[in-house]
Amino acid sequence: MAKVLKAVAMERCIGCYSCMFACARLVHNVLSWSRSGIRVRSLGGLTAGFEASYCLACPKPACAAACPSGALGERPGKGVRYRRELCLRCGRCSHACPVKAIWLDQETGEPVVCLHCGRCVPFCPHGCLAMVTSAETSH
């Protein structure tokens, strides 16, 4: 079974954005919120809490089906894999994602999506994120 990212305890999130910076730096080699596969946002002020937006590892992902070049493809287990060299930067994947978890980078036009690598998990100081086997997820 493949492992996938899951926000397991967002009630503990303080909105520090460490997970976003870790993803941008370790996966995309930049320090920019716009290139993070996970997005944390406030639900309406500090007391309302935070939510995490990321790829939910859909079986038969709509984003991969919408990709005309095969740059996004179904990952064994769940989720998608991204092949930059095949990407046309057309944005169809972003429009097809049912949970709006694919963002287009403003500078490059490339899709930014969670690849379920887990690099963000150890940077969350409150244990809000975890890698779980795809059988444990319930989307």
What are the tens digits of pLDDT across the range 20-49?
999 999 998 998 878 999 999 999 876 789
User: For domain 1-54+114-131, is the CATH number 3.40.1350?
Assistant: no
**Tell me: the pLDDT tens digits for 101-132?**
999 998 889 999 998 999 999 999 999 999 99
Q: Based on the number of CB atoms within 10 Å of its own CB, is 107 exposed (0-12), middle (13-18) or buried (19 or more)?
A: exposed
User: CB count, 10 Å around CB of 64?
Assistant: 20
E strand residue ranges, the chain: 3-7, 39-42, 50-53, 72-74, 80-82, 103-104, 111-112, 129-133
Q: Dihedral, CA atoms, 91, 95, 98, 104, nearest 10 degrees?
A: 40
Averaged pLDDT, 97-103: 93
Average pLDDT, the chain: 90
Averaged pLDDT, 94-100: 94
As a whole-number percent, the residues of the chain with pLDDT over 90 amount to 71
Q: Which CATH number fits domain 56-100: 2.60.120.260, 3.40.50.1110, 3.30.70.150, 3.30.70.20?
A: 3.30.70.20
Q: What is the pTM of this model?
A: 0.85
Note the pLDDT of residue 34. Answer: 82
Span(s) in the chain for CATH 3.30.70.20 = 56-100
